[in-house]
Amino acid sequence: MPLSSTPPSVPAELSQNARTVLEKRYLVKDRSGKPTERPEDMFWRVATVVAEADRRYGASDAQTQALAEEFYALMTQRRFEPNSPTLMNAGRPLGQLSACFVLPVEDALSNGQNGIYDTLRSMALIHQSGGGTGFSFSRLRGKGAMVRSTTGVASGPVSFMQLYDSSTDAVKQGGTRRGANMGILRVDHPDVLDFIACKEDLTKVTNFNISVGITEKFMQALKAGGSYDLIEPSTGAVAGQLDAKLVWDKMVLGAWRTGEPGVFFIDEANRYNPVPHLGAYEATNPCGEQPLLPYDVCNLGSVNVGYYVRDGQLDWEAFGRDIRTSTHFLDNIIDVNKYPLPEIDALSKRIRRIGLGVMGFADALIKLGIPYDTPEGVEMGRRVMEFLDVEGKKESERLAKERGPFPEWARSIWGPDETCARDADGKRIRPMQMLRNCNVTTVAPTGTISIIAGCSSGLEPLFAVAFMRNQAGVMMPDVNEDFVAIAKREGWYSDELMERIAKTGTVQHPEVPERWQKVFVTANLIAPEWHVRMQAAFQQHCDSAISKTTNFAHTATVDDVRAIYELAYQLNCKGVTVYRDGSRDGQVLSTGATE
Ligand code: CDP
Question: Could you state, in order of their start, the residue ranges of all structural domains in the chain?
Answer: 1-77, 100-284, 449-594
By alpha-carbon position, which residue is closest to atom 11 of ligand 1? Answer: 99
Phi (first) and psi of residue 210, to 5 degrees: -125, 145
Q: For residue 266, which of 204, 191, 214 has the smallest C-alpha distance? A: 214
CA distance linking residue 67 with residue 361, whole number of Å: 27
- What does the pLDDT read at residue 421? 75
What separation, in Å, do the N-terminal and C-terminal C-alpha atoms of the chain show?
56
- What does the pLDDT read at residue 224? 98
Q: What is the pLDDT of residues 205-215, one digit of tens each?
A: 999 999 999 99
CA distance linking residue 271 with residue 294, whole number of Å: 17
Mean pLDDT in residue range 55-67: 97
Mean pLDDT in residue range 527-542: 98
Residue 28 or residue 202, greater confidence:
28
287 is catalytic: yes
Centroid of ligand 1 to alpha carbon of 568 (angstroms): 23
pLDDT exceeds cutoff 80 at 36? yes
CATH class for the domain made up of 100-284: alpha beta
- What does the pLDDT read at residue 509? 95
Confidence band of 171 (pLDDT split at 50, 70, 90): confident
Which helix (DSSP H) or strand (DSSP E) does residue 385 occupy? helix 375-403
Cβ contact 550:373 at 8 Å: no
Q: For residue 336, which of 79, 71, 24, 66 has the smallest C-alpha distance? A: 71
CA distance linking residue 546 with residue 268, whole number of Å: 13
- What does the pLDDT read at residue 2? 84
**What ipTM did this prediction achieve?**
0.94
Which helix (DSSP H) or strand (DSSP E) does residue 457 occupy? none
CA distance linking residue 131 with residue 192, whole number of Å: 27
13: number of Cβ within 10 Å:
12
- What does the pLDDT read at residue 593? 42
Mean pLDDT in residue range 108-117: 95
Print burial letters for 70-102: b (CB count within 10 Å at least 16), e (below 16).
ebbbbbbebbbbbbbbbbbbbbeeeebbbbbbb
285 is catalytic: yes
pLDDT exceeds cutoff 90 at 175? no
Mean pLDDT in residue range 289-316: 97
Mean pLDDT in residue range 64-76: 98
pLDDT exceeds cutoff 60 at 499? yes
CA distance linking residue 195 with residue 2, whole number of Å: 52
User: How far is residue 370 from each of residues 345, 379, 537, measured CA to CA in Å?
Assistant: 43, 10, 16
CA distance linking residue 248 with residue 266, whole number of Å: 15
CA distance linking residue 157 with residue 75, whole number of Å: 42
The C-alpha R_g of the chain, in whole angstroms, comes to 24
Cβ contact 300:437 at 8 Å: no
Centroid of ligand 1 to alpha carbon of 444 (angstroms): 8
CA distance linking residue 280 with residue 500, whole number of Å: 51
Q: Which of 89, 114, 209, 285 is catalytic?
A: 285
Centroid of ligand 1 to alpha carbon of 134 (angstroms): 12
Phi (first) and psi of residue 173, to 5 degrees: -65, 95
Which helix (DSSP H) or strand (DSSP E) does residue 238 occupy? strand 237-243
DSSP alpha helices (H): ranges in 129-204? Answer: 157-170, 192-197
Mean pLDDT in residue range 110-139: 95
Residue 136 or residue 470, greater confidence:
136
Centroid of ligand 1 to alpha carbon of 308 (angstroms): 25
By alpha-carbon position, which residue is closest to atom 18 of ligand 1? Answer: 132
3 state SS of 548:
coil
36, 41, 42, 43 alpha-carbon torsion, rounded to 10°: 170
Q: Which residues line ligand 1 (CB under 6 A)?
A: 83-84, 99-100, 131-132, 177-178, 180, 285-287, 289, 300, 444-449
CA distance linking residue 130 with residue 174, whole number of Å: 6
**Poorest-confidence range of 152-156, 293-297, 488-492?**
152-156
Cis peptide before 286 (omega within 30 of 0): no
Q: What is the pLDDT of residues 247-267, one digit of tens each?
A: 999 999 999 999 999 999 999
**Amino acid (one-letter) located at 241:** Q
Mean pLDDT in residue range 280-296: 97
Cβ contact 12:40 at 8 Å: yes
Centroid of ligand 1 to alpha carbon of 527 (angstroms): 26
Q: For residue 98, which of 173, 38, 5, 148 has the smallest C-alpha distance? A: 173
Distance of CA 55 to the CA centre of its chain: 30
Q: What is the pLDDT of residues 316-375, one digit of tens each?
A: 999 999 999 999 999 999 999 999 999 999 999 999 999 999 999 999 999 999 999 999
**Amino acid (one-letter) located at 27:** L
- What does the pLDDT read at residue 504? 84
**Amino acid (one-letter) located at 431:** P
Q: Which atom of ligand 1 is nearest to the CA of 177?
A: 23
3 state SS of 585:
coil
500: number of Cβ within 10 Å:
16
pLDDT exceeds cutoff 80 at 424? no
pLDDT exceeds cutoff 60 at 594? no
Q: What is the pLDDT of residues 560-593, one digit of tens each?
A: 999 999 999 999 999 999 999 888 865 555 554 4
**Poorest-confidence range of 294-298, 302-306, 483-487, 497-501?**
497-501
Q: Which atom of ligand 1 is nearest to the CA of 288?
A: 14
3 state SS of 70:
helix
By alpha-carbon position, which residue is closest to atom 12 of ligand 1? Answer: 99
Mean pLDDT in residue range 221-232: 98
pLDDT exceeds cutoff 70 at 163? yes
Mean pLDDT in residue range 113-130: 94
218, 219, 221, 224 alpha-carbon torsion, rounded to 10°: 180
- What is the rounded average pLDDT for all residues in the chain? 93
